[in-house]
Amino acid sequence: MRRITYLLLLTVLFLGRAVADEGMWLPSLVEKLNITEMQQMGFQLNAEDIYSINNSSLKDAIVALDRGSCTAELISPDGLLLTNHHCAYSEIQSHSSVEHDYLQDGFWAMTREEELPNPGKSVTFLVRIEDVTSKVLSEVTPDMSEEERSNKIYSITRELEKEAKGDSHYETYVRSFFNANQFHLFVVETFTDVRLAGAPPQALGKFGGDTDNWMWPRHTADFSLFRVYMGPDGKPADFSENNIPYKSKYFLPISLKGIEEGDFAMVMGYPGGTDRYRTSYGVEYTMEVTNPVRVEVREEKLRIIDEYMGTSQKARIQYASKHARSSNYYKYSIGQNRGLDNLNVVEKKKLIEEEFTNWVNANPERQEKYGQALEFIEQAYSDVSVDKAREYMAESMIRGPEIFMYAYRALPVYKMLSDDKLSPEIKEIIQVRLTEGMASHFKDYDAETDMRIAAELMELYAENIEPEYHPAFFAEVKKRYKGNFEKYAERMFKRTIFDDENQLREFLENPDMKTLEKDLAFQASRDIFDKYRDLNDLAAEKNDLLDKGNRLFIAGLMEMKPGKTFYPDANSTMRLTYGQIFDYEPRDGVIYKYYTTTDGYLEKEIPGDDEFHVPERIKELLLAKKFGRYANENGELYACFISNNDITGGNSGSPVINANGELIGVAFDGNWEAMSGDIAFEPELQRCINVDIRFVLWIIDIYAGASHLVDEMEIVE
């Protein structure tokens, strides 16, 4: 195993670039910053093969799913997309029923006509990136207030976006980097006809469930398949029977040659967010406020959902996706606090801040420019009561029960109804506003479960947050219901139309303001969002202070270390990370191999268990070792492997690419020992968990018998 000194660890974690496995790099800058090192590590392609404006390149095979919630990659000339099972989980769930339980049994489209459409699903291709920092900051001056600076930047970026878009169908946006010290313009193309083509059964795609989530060793076949469609003219188009499969500008060839420890590995995708330059004050806030709030609230919510899901197959299907969304970052928050504590990250951050302060104080000009950076940050975190209330409200009432967010959708309707003259056109707008997505919402909704969640989470908020930050209706709960939120929730659900599809549709036939004024869920939702806006307003001044402090701190760090090549935090834009396939030592006396095989999948079997059940057909195939061409030279079928690539949320579904530019796996998780990674990268422990592409193809080809899908691909043996 590789060893690094304490001093080097500090450098790697906080200040710049020391080892190849850390860093989320913009593909447009690879030629300038990375390609030499990549080729020294064994990479056989050049920068133009990765990112090119004029020719097809790897970037053209990588897409953002749903604006960056996940990543997917093209693996055929006809728009076939590979991503994670958990990235398709809500779509698989939405198509599932007691009669067709695709979550439990899997789904395979044996013809393209059988592929399932998914309203609201999108894939976004990157067209080009342009550094516009000098243009954006051309009129910004040091004497501007934060508001003036922000307004000027907003004005300039909107003009740049408008100019770049022209009369094209492309989308354009400018994103800030290094806390608004740098800016890049992105031109993208988004397609909205995305159809489900294949998904393994839960016993493969979600094997290990919450127990194995974020853990290694792993044996999960976390993949699914979509196909993107375009209009006959080759442009994006909403779903239509007339649409045709997308003609891929570039797609990834797939390698069956296998992997070895030390092999070069590259990941391209859309990482959602990191905060590697966060100060000690920010880390303490995460550990003491953000993560504990998330854990406490979601623990209660998940307990209630678990109880309901255990009542029937229908209940399990209804709430499967909701449970998965909530549980993922529940466990993440526990692991992140554990990792930050074990790695002593706060103290290490303080050492960097001490070095920064000494550097600033050594020069009067630096004092003038950066002297207040850390002071601003400290002031912003000096009183966290408002921020804690915002965190609790977001978790317990906005993202907690569904009733409040759903009822709040009726606010524009309420405002329109206040107009005495309700025209037929306005009435139609009202109906469209509330009927959109109604059937799918109520298909997966249980009012009694939501009522229990609302009661528990409102009480949690009341117990943990000062009364001055309570929504207005809490006073009524205290006065009329003696603070009993269970009784209030029962009353609220009896006096609302937003927990029952039939009542809501009846209201829409003849909408009136009086109904909404008497609706307790609607009135509570107004109070909640009014208070949330108040909290945001209270936090605004501190946020400006924090933004300025962070911007100056990062600018100072980059000036303090002119020989370092800094990489920007993730922000849902395309990034590239490169490293190698390696084992690791999680604790004394334990070494985790860099791969697992399907032998381990069978060893984990717990018959009948929701997480570790192995269906009979899978077991028969594995025991008989019917692996076809997907076995290695020893007759084994690899399941998963790990690499030291730098990834985070949003990278789910990203391709793992070898030195020849061929697909060898699909990234789907990080490891438990390095859950601090979004804030502090730990090079000895940080690992990216990937499903081996040979396991993926074995399932599609031999287990599912969907060989026609494999026939579309370019296989390299």
Look up the CATH number of the domain holding residue 106: 2.40.10.120
Flag whether pLDDT at 501 surpasses 60. yes
If pLDDT is split at 50, 70 and 90, which confidence band does 425 have? confident
The C-alpha angle 661, 663, 669, rounded to 5 degrees, equals 120
- Asked whether residue 48 falls in the same domain as residue 172, the answer is no
The secondary structure of residue 581, as a DSSP letter, is B
Flag whether pLDDT at 1 surpasses 50. no
Residues 220/598, Cβ–Cβ less than 8 Å: no
Give CB contacts under 8 A, 24+ apart, made by 600-608. 600/217, 600/219, 600/639, 601/207, 601/219, 601/639, 604/207, 604/208, 604/219
pLDDT at 16: 39
- Asked whether residue 355 falls in the same domain as residue 468, the answer is yes
Taking only the tens place, the pLDDT of each residue in 557-567 is 999 999 999 99
Q: Give me the sign of the Cα torsion angle 22, 23, 24, 30.
A: negative
Q: Give the number of other CB atoms < 10 A from CB of residue 241.
A: 6
Q: Catalytic one among 57, 643, 652, 676?
A: 652
Please tell me the total number of residues recorded for the chain in this structure: 717
Q: Catalytic one among 86, 95, 184, 323?
A: 86
Flag whether pLDDT at 8 surpasses 80. no
* Among 572, 654, 569, 571, residue whose Cα is nearest residue 68: 572
pLDDT at 472: 98
In the chain, what percentage of residues exceed pLDDT 70?
97
Range of the domain at 463: 280-543
pLDDT at 421: 65
Flag whether pLDDT at 82 surpasses 90. yes
Report yes or no on 1 lying in a domain. Answer: no
The secondary structure of residue 422, as a DSSP letter, is -
Taking only the tens place, the pLDDT of each residue in 291-306 is 999 999 999 999 999 9
Report yes or no on 712 lying in a domain. Answer: yes
pLDDT at 422: 66
pLDDT at 418: 76
If pLDDT is split at 50, 70 and 90, which confidence band does 119 have? very high
Among 173-177, 507-511, 631-635, the range scoring the smallest mean pLDDT is 507-511
- Asked whether residue 184 falls in the same domain as residue 211, the answer is no
The rounded distance, in Å, linking the Cα atoms of 700 and 717 is 17
pLDDT at 6: 35
Residues 299/330, Cβ–Cβ less than 8 Å: yes
Residues 628/622, Cβ–Cβ less than 8 Å: no
Report yes or no on 171 lying in a domain. Answer: yes
- Mean per-residue pLDDT, 428-437: 77
- Asked whether residue 506 falls in the same domain as residue 581, the answer is no
Q: Which two three-digit tokens encode residue 342?
A: 């074990």
Query: Of 526, 543, 560, which one is at a domain's C-terminal end?
Result: 543
Q: Give me the sign of the Cα torsion angle 51, 57, 61, 66.
A: positive
Cis before 412? omega within 30: no
Is 222 tagged catalytic?
Answer: yes
Strand segments (E) across 306-453: none
If pLDDT is split at 50, 70 and 90, which confidence band does 417 have? confident
If pLDDT is split at 50, 70 and 90, which confidence band does 420 have? low
**Position of tokens 């998914």?**
118
Among 146-150, 468-472, 482-486, 693-697, the range scoring the smallest mean pLDDT is 146-150
Strand partners, 107: 199
pLDDT at 437: 85
If pLDDT is split at 50, 70 and 90, which confidence band does 508 have? confident
- Mean per-residue pLDDT, 10-37: 73
Flag whether pLDDT at 3 surpasses 80. no
- Asked whether residue 451 falls in the same domain as residue 504, the answer is yes
Report yes or no on 45 lying in a domain. Answer: yes
Give the contacts of 210 (CB within 8 A, at least 6 positions apart). 327, 331, 611
Taking only the tens place, the pLDDT of each residue in 564-595 is 999 999 999 999 999 999 999 998 999 999 99
The C-alpha angle 348, 350, 354, rounded to 5 degrees, equals 120
The rounded distance, in Å, linking the Cα atoms of 144 and 153 is 11
Q: Is 353 helix (H, G, I), strand (E, B) or coil?
A: helix
Whole-number Cα distances in Å, 665 to 125, 649, 704: 21, 17, 19
Give CB contacts under 8 A, 24+ apart, made by 281-284. 281/377, 281/378, 281/380, 281/381, 282/377, 282/381, 283/340, 283/345, 283/346, 283/349, 283/679, 284/346, 284/381
- Asked whether residue 168 falls in the same domain as residue 58, the answer is no
pLDDT at 429: 75
pLDDT at 431: 73
pLDDT at 372: 97
Residues 569/274, Cβ–Cβ less than 8 Å: yes
pLDDT at 15: 38
The secondary structure of residue 12, as a DSSP letter, is I
Whole-number Cα distances in Å, 386 to 219, 379, 524, 542, 671: 43, 14, 20, 10, 33
The C-alpha angle 14, 19, 25, rounded to 5 degrees, equals 75
- Asked whether residue 132 falls in the same domain as residue 52, the answer is no
Q: One-letter amino acid identity for 139?
A: E
Report yes or no on 548 lying in a domain. Answer: no
The rounded distance, in Å, linking the Cα atoms of 544 and 551 is 11
Taking only the tens place, the pLDDT of each residue in 240-281 is 999 999 999 999 999 999 999 999 999 999 999 999 999 999
Flag whether pLDDT at 636 surpasses 70. yes
- Asked whether residue 142 falls in the same domain as residue 110, the answer is no
Report yes or no on 563 lying in a domain. Answer: no
Report yes or no on 225 lying in a domain. Answer: yes
Farthest CA pair distance, the chain: 79
Flag whether pLDDT at 121 surpasses 70. yes
Whole-number Cα distances in Å, 117 to 80, 505, 533, 653: 14, 25, 37, 20
- Asked whether residue 353 falls in the same domain as residue 368, the answer is yes
Residues 511/448, Cβ–Cβ less than 8 Å: no
- Asked whether residue 370 falls in the same domain as residue 498, the answer is yes
- Asked whether residue 106 falls in the same domain as residue 129, the answer is no
Q: Is 438 helix (H, G, I), strand (E, B) or coil?
A: helix
Dihedral of CA atoms 360, 365, 368, 374 in degrees, nearest 10, equals: -20
Report yes or no on 650 lying in a domain. Answer: yes
Mean pLDDT of the chain: 94
- Asked whether residue 424 falls in the same domain as residue 456, the answer is yes
Query: Of 191, 221, 237, which one is at a domain's C-terminal end?
Result: 191
Strand partners, 691: 640, 666
pLDDT at 13: 37
Strand partners, 130: 185
Please tell me the total count of domains within the chain: 3
The secondary structure of residue 624, as a DSSP letter, is T
Q: Catalytic one among 222, 646, 669, 678?
A: 222
Flag whether pLDDT at 212 surpasses 50. yes
Query: Of 191, 208, 242, which one is at a domain's C-terminal end?
Result: 191
pLDDT at 117: 98
